Structure 1
Amino acid sequence: MSTEPRSTLRDRNRARARAEIVAAAHQLFLTQGFGETSVEQIAAAAGVAPRTVFRHFPRKEDLVFHRHAEHVGRLAALLEEAPAERGTLDALVAALLGMLRLDEGPSDGAMLRLLDREPELQRRDAALVADHHAAVVTFLRTRGADAQRAELLAGAFMGAVGAARRLVTLAPEIPPREHLAAAVELLRALDWPPSSV
């Protein structure tokens, strides 16, 4: 008989069900489009009832942005943990890479192209970018930037990241990390706050 606590087993089953629903949804979104995919189709593909999908994901777009809060929290935590001696821009890039986990698998930009053509998803994506921007501003303030400088530098950083992300869809033959590296090189010319030491 298993000695694993019931709550842990329940949590693992819940996480597995969520992952299966998300995988089914993404496959359908990519093959037939977000607007053309119904929750009933997603439920059938995942082998669950529609009410199960809604229990995990109250809105259909939550299936695309299900890790929004996790990503924002992870970025903020990684920035907070950045070594004081690491340069500000390098700390931002390291935190971004840690959040995105680009090494977990190749990206052909398919999900980004989906975002580009779905206005409903673009609104949620803009909220995600705004939350990341706020985390970057907070970090820059801890590095000594005043409010104006923090906003401007955060805008430059997020704009460059957004451009690199767009390049993933325009030039998918180039790894996303290379697009990001090119953006970072352009950012190095800016007057970043010094490291905290």
Structure 2
Amino acid sequence: MISFTDEKLLNLLIQYNPWWKGIPISEKTAPPHQRFAYYEAKKLLFHKDLRRFVILSGARRVGKTTIMYQLIQSLLENGVAARNIVYLSFDNPILKLGGFDGVLRAYDNAYPIDGDLYFFFDEVQYAEDWERWIKTLYDTRLNLRLVATVSASPALEKGSADSGVGLWSVLKIPTLSFYEYCDLLQLPSRP
């Protein structure tokens, strides 16, 4: 595996997390309209007694990343420290090659964190051994909450279901339902 310096990985982290520099998330990135899956993910993410990571699964372009940004926006609005919220997209070649261990090392070395920590891993299926890493994070970072997206694939869903029993919940994100489409367009529900 190619090795990347902590500095290079940290620069990439800063690019992915503009809220660390006080730059707000745009309405285009986190639109005000939330789908049903957003509320289900939020309920799991903020559950007081049940610690369960959230895996958003579905085809490309169904809104998984949008839901993640809406959750990040909600955390920021609720006063969570910006540096305690980490977003990464593993379809980036540097992150794919840098791997979980390199990225986490760079983050931990740069930012000692106090309080709860929230990781958002987009397209996590591109990371090598992602299920093992998520299990390791679950076991070793008790103050961590995590949301990840995976593109729909029967093998991926089976693997995540087998490895993650009791650790994470898989929320399948479908295309827009007719009700969601009407709601998005603000059409009346009855004629």
Please report the TM-score for the alignment, with normalisation by the length of structure 1.
0.27
Structure having the higher Rg: 1
- Name the structure where helix makes up a greater proportion of residues: 1
Per the normalisation by structure 2, the TM-score is 0.28
Higher RCO (CA < 8 A, seq sep 6+): 2
